Amino acid sequence: MKSGKCPKCGSENVYFKENPFPIEEARIRLSPLNTSSFDYCVCVDCGYMEYYISNPKKLNKIEKQWEKVSEIDQSRYI
């Protein structure tokens, strides 16, 4: 989506907004005093939306603190 093309419908009517919801509920908690907001991309033709961590430097905290998808017991999602 960041390329300007929707991966769902192929439209190029994709719009971007940095941290459009500057409220606590629209943030991800990385530690008690450390949060990160999101940047959003929305396709106005089909409504598909993706969001990304605003500060890429915080991705290393997620890598250290979260479970990697391949390591999660997939049976709990079936």
Q: Is residue 8 part of a domain?
A: no
For residue 65, the SS3 value is helix
Q: Is residue 46 part of a domain?
A: yes
- 69, 30 in Cβ contact below 8 A? no
Side chain identity, residue 69: V
Which of the four pLDDT bands, split at 50, 70 and 90, describes residue 75?
Answer: low
Give me the domain span that covers residue 18.
Answer: 14-77
| Res 60: pLDDT | 84
Q: Is residue 5 part of a domain?
A: no
For 5-57, the pLDDT digits (tens) are: 999 999 999 999 887 665 555 556 666 566 677 888 999 999 999 988 888 88
Q: Is residue 34 part of a domain?
A: yes
| Res 74: pLDDT | 62
Sheet of strand 14-18: strand arrangement: 14-18, 38-43, 49-53
| Res 43: pLDDT | 97
Q: Is residue 44 part of a domain?
A: yes
Q: Is residue 9 part of a domain?
A: no
Q: Is residue 23 part of a domain?
A: yes
- 12, 2 in Cβ contact below 8 A? no
Count up the domains in the chain and report the number. Answer: 1
Rounded to two decimals, what is the model's pTM? 0.64
